[in-house]
Amino acid sequence: MPYHSTPLDLAFHALSDPTRRAVVSRLAEGEVPVTVLAEPFDMALPSFAQHLKVLEDCGLIASEKRGRSRWCRLVQARFDEAADWMEAERRRWSERLDRLEVYLDKTREDEEEHDKSV
């Protein structure tokens, strides 16, 4: 059975490109028309549009036509899904280090106890 990418797979893939991360950063400050969004990038509009399509296909951004402009915005739920995964792993890692520290302290105390008693 072929594997179908999950939304989380696609979100991390979308974030693996610096232009797309810069778009996410810009949109975190508020929605803007595509033309304004594209301005800082030294890139042909079709290439830029392709990056937006990757971000929109994975649900990290959404866009909407208003009059003659297309406006883009960040979609918080999808972004949070990826950020929450990172934070959960970081917490798991840090809890493990805490447990390790407790264990090492305990081992050291036991050794000191043992040294005193001999």
Contacts to a second copy by CB under 8 A: 5-6, 8-13, 15-18, 21, 24-25, 28-30, 74, 76, 79-80, 82-83, 85-87, 89-90, 92-93, 96
Q: How many CB atoms lie within 10 A of CB 61?
A: 24
DSSP string of 49-88?
HHHHHHHHHTTSEEEEEETTEEEEEE-HHHHHHHHHHHHH
Q: Which is nearer to a second copy, 64 or 113 (CB)?
A: 64
In the complex, the smallest distance separating the C-beta of residue 118 from a second copy, rounded to whole angstroms, is: 32
- List the end-to-end C-alpha distance of the chain, in Å, as a whole number: 65
CB-based contacts of 76: which residues, under 8 Å, 6+ apart? none
In the complex, the smallest distance separating the C-beta of residue 25 from a second copy, rounded to whole angstroms, is: 6
In the complex, the smallest distance separating the C-beta of residue 117 from a second copy, rounded to whole angstroms, is: 32
Structure tokens at 4: 């179908």
Q: Which is nearer to a second copy, 28 or 45 (CB)?
A: 28
In the complex, the smallest distance separating the C-beta of residue 103 from a second copy, rounded to whole angstroms, is: 11
